[in-house]
Amino acid sequence: MRLLFFAFLTLQSLHAADFHATACEGTYPRHLQGICTNGKDAIYWCWTDYLVKTDTEGRILKKVPVADHHGDLCFHDGRVYVATNLAKFNRPAGEADSWVCVYDAETLAELAKHRVPEVVHGAGGMAWRDGRFFIVGGLPPGVGENYVYEYDTGFRFQRRHVLASGYTLMGIQTAAHASGAWWFGCYGKPQVLLRADENLRLTGKWEFNASVGIAPISGGRFLIAQNTVVKGRDGKSDGNQAKVLIARPDEKAGLVIHER
């Protein structure tokens, strides 16, 4: 019986680490904004106005329409939290309407909404770390630094962190924390990846595209999302599709895509 029990635990551990390169089932009107996992057997994909839960093979388990504009998301304690802006991005303070929308991780039923007015340029991404939520978002043109907004579990504002990143196009789109470092995906031509230490001091900046999704998985690896615009015969967009690839940290390149 003990052997069977330990074999079961081993199988559970293997299953929990079974994230790999895959594509999300379906085509969506708007582009992908972010991804996260439950650390076990599901990937959550935010498509601006749809929230989708898939298994590790990318097969849809749940799909719900959501308000425009839902952004990057994170998982914590059986719930999915999505940074959401219902007004303008990348404008001076006063024109955004920033929220965090909370969903049941099993059913994707909406459970709560929390206003986060401190994210004045539009809430666009978020991550969880050690009892705190950290929210990132838009940035007006020409501002030479990014901002990370820290909240407790009740979404009471704690402080604003200044990230000495220089200007990045439309601020920061995605956020993840893993192995003692923060990782931020940004738009641009080319796209930019930022890394910071535990105190949000910048430690690296590279040309790498993690702007539509970055999620830590086992073994120090990451899932990195890529969005593709699907063209019809007339050359116009027929929607968006996305996949995730595996990446590993690299001191020279920031992250490097690997097969496994």
**Could you tell me the pLDDT band of residue 234, with boundaries at 50, 70 and 90?**
confident
Residues 163-216 have pLDDT tens digits of 999 999 999 999 999 989 999 999 999 999 999 999 999 999 999 999 999 999
Distance CA 193, CA 188 (A): 10
Distance CA 40, CA 239 (A): 29
| pLDDT score at 203 | 98
What is the pLDDT averaged over residues 26-45? 98
What is the pLDDT averaged over residues 62-86? 98
| pLDDT score at 15 | 43
Distance CA 144, CA 167 (A): 4
| pLDDT score at 189 | 94
Q: Assign a CATH topology to domain 22-258.
A: Neuraminidase (2.120.10)
Residues 81-120 have pLDDT tens digits of 999 999 999 999 999 999 999 999 999 999 999 999 999 9
